[in-house]
Each structure stands twice: as C-alpha cells, then as structure tokens.
Amino acid sequence: MTGFPRANESAHISIEMENVGAEHTDMVAASIEGMLDSLPLLSSECCIYRVPEKLRKFNGGEAYTPRAVSIGPLHRRHKNLQAMTEHKLRYLQSFLSQIRLSLGEYIKHVRTWEGRARGCYAETIDLSSDEFVKMLVMDGSFIVELLLRSHFGDINDQMDRIFGNPWMIDDVGRDMILLENQLPFFVLKGMLDLVMDNNGEEIPSILKLTYKHFKSFLTLNKYPDNISTNEVKHFPDFLRHCHLPSSPNGWQKCDPAIEFSPSATRLHEAGIKFEVKKNSSCLFDVEFTNGVLQIPYLEIDDLTETLFRNLIAYEQCHCKEKYIIHYMALIDSMINTHKDVDLLIHHRIITSRLGSNEDVMMLFNNICKEVVFGHKVYFLTLCKNLNAYCRTPWHRWKANLKRDYFHSPWAVVSVVAAVILLMLTFIQSVCSIISV
C-alpha cells in the first residue's frame, strides 16, 4: 500500500527540488548572460532598415523588393537576383582598370570601412568579415561604375548588357532607390575618390553623378545645394533631400484630430480655383490665397508609388520631421474618388501615365495607411484655411450661382434677359396700380 511520504522524506524531496531549481536557475542566468554579451553595440550610423510589415501588406511588398539586382546584404541570397552576379563582375573589372590599386590592395582598402558600414544596418548582418567585404567590393564597384557610365554616356557599347537593354536599366535604376537595397553613401564616395585620384578633376562628385543618373528617369524637383556629401546616408536619403523645401518654417504643433484638406471636388464646389504653381522647384510650394489654390505640378508614372513608398518607409524608421509623409497625406486628402483625379488632371496639376484614374486614386488612398504622422503638421495653416473656406455658406452659394447661371456666355445673356424682363414686368405692374 502506497502512502504519503513521511516528514523527513518530504524534507529530503524539498531539498532535492531546491537543488534542481537552483541548477536550472543558474543555467537560465548563464544563457541570458551569454545573450547579453553577444548583443551588438548600437551605432549612431544606423540608417538602412527593413520596411515594417504593417507597410508591406498594402503593396504585397512589391514596392520594396528588388527585381533585378541585390545591393547590400538584405536581399543578396534571393535566387532570382543571382543572374546579376556576372554583370557585377564585369563592372568590377572595368572599375579596377580606372584606379591605381591592385585587386588585393583595393580589398584591403575597403576592409577598413567594414565596421562603420555594418553599423549602418538596423539589424545584425550574419556575414563573416570576408563575405561582408566581398559584398561591399562587388556591389559598391557595380554602382559607381554604373553612375560613371550613365554620366559619360558610355551606353552605346553593345557589349554592355545593362545600358544596352532598356528594361534592364529601368529595373536596375528602380532597385537602386529601395530602402532595403542600399549601401552606405560613404562607401560609394570612397570608391569614387579612388577613381578621381587616378583621373583628376574631370570626374564629378558623387552627389552630381547621383543626381544626373536619377534625374534621367525620375521627376526630381531640384538639386540639393544645401547638403554636403557627408550628410547623405544613401540613395533614398538623397532623393528625399531633392524634394524638401528650402525653409522648414511650415511645421506647427497640432492635436491628433487634425483635419487635412477637403477633397478636390468639395473644394471646387466651394468655389476654390485650382492653378498649377508656375516656376516652382519644390512640391511643398502649395499656396492658398483669395480663393485660389496653387499646387506644383506632379507627374505620376510606374515609379511614383515605389519612390514615395520607400521615402515614406525611410521617414517612418529614421526621420524626425516627416516631410514626404505630410505631402502625400495632403494629396491623399484631396483625392477620394476618380472625380477628384479627373479634376486635378483637368487643371494640369497632375498628369498620369498609369492605366486609369482609378489606379491613381488607389495609389494615394493606400499610400498613407498605417503611417504615423508625428506631433507636427507641415501644412496645418493651409488645411485650416481650406476647411474654413469650405464651411462658409456664402462661398458655396456664390459658387453654385456661378456654376448654374454664369457658366457660359449664353447663360449670362439668358440671366440678364430674364432680369430685364422681370424688371419690366414689375414696372408695368407698378404703373398699372398707379393709373388705377
């Protein structure tokens, strides 16, 4: 018959359990201590991120994933991008012919950048030192050589499989602006410096080469004269600077219930006139004065969504002031239906190379979802003035009167004739009464 343990047996079991618990506690502590010891140091250079999953779901990740070439460590193992390795090697061969270093000396030089370059990535890169340096050499040389060929026009060489193929150079150019597909800008500058040391002053700066290359297939607003090479983090950062306003005075604190602009059709119904902002080199030059809303021209094509989604992702992960997010939110608030798109296209504020105006509407309606706007709004005063104008009944009445009765010269003639007939009838009635 099995009974309960006696008192001394219970004490013995309790001691054994305490010993086992202590051993397990020591093991857990040792495990956690090992994890703590292996934590990498946080770097102030961090600027290259994976796009948050909440942003990827609206586009299926397509706007953030390379199609033709992997740049950097985050997509280097994708099988569909391995075909570009041969092109990278050919560009590396050409690059080596333009510098004074042998391949071994070049690798040794690049190795000095490894620590700083690793610190530019938000996640720990699981590549050995040799693998990481090899990646920097292959990808960095490829990009610098591509920028040089783009600038000097060496694109008629039929042996060049990238510039000789229109779809290839477009896909490579697109992949170069993706946030997850980047090398630190200082690496590219350092590699170009090696070419400049061998070729004198005829080589433009890395900023000028970058601007010229992307300007050929992106609608860039202006060259960022107020920025130095040392300030640029990578290509998305450079493209963001190309769109920023020259003055940061538009920021204002607001509450979370901020109202952006009414839709374009509602603005139109309130009597607001739309005009393209002429001689403007910045998307942020939006002005509303005396019932006239002036907006800089925006061209929308197949690259627009990819560009702005990656700039938005970069601002979400890295930037305190979210300029691009607030600009896109403003345009998004003006576009609710395809009629809003029709109106903006009619006034030549935007042009679209997409399939339909529905596509433009969907682009803007989804691009700011799950986005954090921050505690300041750039267009706060503009939005308040637009909403106040639309809420004033007189503006709507005046707009309705003009739309219904003065929309054409014949309508004006009809209204004037009706008024004259009404006045004559009134005069006739008065005269009849007086005569009686």
pLDDT digits (tens, 9 = 90+) for 281-324: 789 999 999 989 999 999 999 999 999 999 999 999 999 899 99
Closest CA to 355 of 305, 401, 317, 315: 305
The bridge status of strand 292-295 relative to strand 287-289 is: antiparallel
Does residue 48 have a pLDDT over 90? yes
The structure tokens listed for 24 are 């397990």
Q: What is the mean pLDDT of the chain?
A: 85
State pLDDT tens for residues 177-188: 999 999 999 999
What's the rounded Cα separation, in Å, for the pair 291 and 286?
13
State pLDDT tens for residues 346-385: 999 999 988 888 999 999 999 998 888 877 888 888 999 9
Does residue 155 have a pLDDT over 60? no
**pLDDT for 156:** 46
The structure tokens listed for 239 are 């493209």
**pLDDT for 406:** 47
How many other CB atoms are found less than 10 A from the CB of residue 153?
8
Amino acid at 48: I
Whole-number percent of the chain with pLDDT over 90: 53
Nearest-10 Cα torsion for 210, 213, 216, 218? -50
Closest CA to 364 of 313, 327, 328, 338: 328
- 359 Ramachandran zone, left/alpha/beta (phi>0; psi -120 to 50): alpha
Calculate the alpha carbon distances from 311 to 163, 196, 328, 361, 434 in Å: 26, 30, 11, 19, 78
Does residue 221 have a pLDDT over 60? yes
What's the rounded Cα separation, in Å, for the pair 48 and 120?
6
Helix (H, G, I), strand (E, B) or coil at 231: helix
Residues facing 48 on adjacent strands: 121
DSSP string across 414-427: HHHHHHHHHHHHHH
Higher pLDDT, 325 or 248: 325
The structure tokens listed for 382 are 């503009």
What's the rounded Cα separation, in Å, for the pair 193 and 393?
63
Query: What is the separation, in whole angstroms, between the first and last Cα of the chain?
Result: 132
What's the rounded Cα separation, in Å, for the pair 262 and 363?
18
**Predicted confidence band at 89 (pLDDT cuts at 50, 70, 90)?**
very high
How many other CB atoms are found less than 10 A from the CB of residue 75?
18
**pLDDT for 57:** 84
Closest CA to 142 of 87, 198, 65, 218: 87
Please answer whether residues 73 and 132 qualify as being in contact, where contact means their C-beta atoms are separated by less than 8 angstroms.
yes
Does residue 158 have a pLDDT over 80? no
Integer Rg of the chain from CA: 32
What's the rounded Cα separation, in Å, for the pair 424 and 96?
93
Higher pLDDT, 419 or 264: 264
Helix (H) or strand (E) holding 60: none
Higher pLDDT, 44 or 132: 132
The three-point CA angle 25-27-31 to 5° equals 115
**Predicted confidence band at 219 (pLDDT cuts at 50, 70, 90)?**
confident
Cβ-Cβ contacts under 8 Å for 233 (sequence gap 6 or more): 47, 48, 120, 184, 185, 318
**Predicted confidence band at 86 (pLDDT cuts at 50, 70, 90)?**
very high
Higher pLDDT, 431 or 230: 230
Helix (H, G, I), strand (E, B) or coil at 326: helix
Nearest 5°: phi and psi at 41? -70, 140
DSSP string across 24-41: HHHHHHHHHHHHHHTPPP
Closest CA to 383 of 241, 263, 214: 263
